[in-house]
Amino acid sequence: MRETPLSNCERLFLLKAIEEKKRLDGRQAYDYRNIKITFGTDYGCCTVCLGKTRVLAQVSCELVPPKDSRPTEGIMFFNLELSSMASPGFQPSRKQSSELLVTLNRQLERCLRNSKCIDTESLCVVSGEKVWQIRVDVHVLNHDGNLMDAASIAAISALCHFRRPDVAIQGRDITVFSPEERDPVPLSIYHMPICVSFAFFQQGTYLLVDPCEKEELVMDGLLVIAMNKHREICSVQSSGGIMLLKDQVIRCSKIASVKVSEITELINKALENDRQVRKEGGKFGFAESIPKERITALKREQAPVEMKDIEETADEIVREAEAPSEAVHSPVIVATGTGQVGEGLQNTWGLEEEDAEEEFQGGMDGKEKKKGTVCVCVCVCVGCAGFTHETIVQLV
């Protein structure tokens, strides 16, 4: 199925709102949606909810021969999948989604592999023969914009959470211990790069952090900056055919550094929580997180909406609005039988219904009568706007 295009009114409305520094979900321009990080029962499984966007990352490992060019380094493999479950627009054959797929995959690779956040040399078992291949599979479960940030948070949290089996080498024998025999070992992670997306509107005049799906549809361009909490930039990527200025990029990097330190803290807290619960033997993983969200689609989330000046604005609108024009007292009456709908003209539909109503009223008691009248009023209102006033009076 093709993605539903945004109508012109929706587009204009969104752009107007952005111009007025307002967002649909009541956020400020530089706010993130709520981030929720949960871990699965297995090591290396992590779900991230960024507002309604949901992403699942699973890390797995296996022993493989290394690449010829790097015999002492382990291999990192990243794979991001867009299933049609996440959005009807995602289909393997669609060109649009395959472009998105390539961008997301490459950005994830650049963010996590090229920044050397994981010590690949520690993944070597026997030089030139056996190394660990760490595979990170990221699945998009629900698409509500900003997949990149959610995917990068999920991937790095899953990598931090992951434990690989311990190995021992005796002579030429390699023994892989099961988790019962020896405690699995965590990966050594130097730093945690996290992507922050910036959406640009109106040729770069307006800037929003963490765009939701609707905002992504109207944006002109996107800038993704990956950073770690030491304020090191791990990758920058602009896309969408937009003109940027150097100052804008630098401003974005400053915003990104603040956001990244917040998110890193959140990930660390989630990891610490998970560790604590596991140690105590309490409920953890999906067993803990899923039952609470049994009805996920109908769950209503409270969005903080700015309400300060609502009443004043409403009063102002009422005050400024012109008094409603008086209903036409002597409407043009045309010959019966010509159906005309329009302001100031006789509506024959209403008259017919009125007749029908009278017949109908005969067999009803008082209460039902009232209900019937209201029903007609509504019909008439829809039928002819200019004639409403009088008709209603007549009926009541």
Q: Give the binding site for other proteins (CB under 8 A).
A: 99, 102-103, 105-106, 110, 114-116, 223, 227-228, 230-246, 249-250, 253-254, 257
SS3 365: coil
Residues pairing with 197 in the sheet: 224
Angle between helices 147-161 and 95-112 (to 10 degrees): 40
Q: What gap in Å lies between CA 271 and CA 254, rounded to an integer?
A: 26
Residue 344 DSSP SS3: coil
CA gap 237, 297 in Å, rounded: 33
Q: Check if the beta carbon of residue 50 is closer than 8 Å to that of residue 143.
A: no
Query: Which residue, 236 or 381, has its beta carbon nearer to other proteins?
Result: 236
Please say which residue, 115 or 391, places its beta carbon nearer to other proteins. 115
Closest separation in Å from C-beta 8 to other proteins: 13
**Backbone dihedral angles phi then psi of residue 194, each to the nearest 5 degrees:** -130, 135
Burial of residue 373 (number of CB atoms within 10 Å: 0-12, 13-18, 19+): middle
Q: Which is nearer to other proteins, 50 or 252 (CB)?
A: 252
38 token code pair? 């949960």
Give the nearer residue to other proteins in terms of CB position, either 67 or 269: 67
Q: Which residues have a Cβ under 8 Å from the Cβ of 162 and sit 6 or more positions away?
A: 43, 44, 59, 61, 134, 186, 187
Compare residues 119 and 293 and give the one whose CB is closer to other proteins: 119
Give least dist CB 102 to other proteins, A: 5
Cβ partners under 8 Å of residue 378, min gap 6: none
Q: Which is nearer to other proteins, 48 or 111 (CB)?
A: 111
Cβ(75)–Cβ(133) below 8 Å = yes
Residue number, 187 or 252, with CB nearest to other proteins? 252
Distances (CA, A) of 292 to 163, 287, 288, 299: 27, 10, 8, 11
Kindly tell me which of 87 and 107 has the beta carbon lying closer to other proteins.
107
CB 34 within 8 A of CB 149: no
Q: What is the DSSP secondary-structure string of 276-316?
A: HHHHHT---THHHHSGGGSS-TT--PPP----TTHHHHHHH
Comparing CB distances to other proteins, the nearer of 120 and 391 is 120
Cα–Cα dist 85/107, whole Å: 22
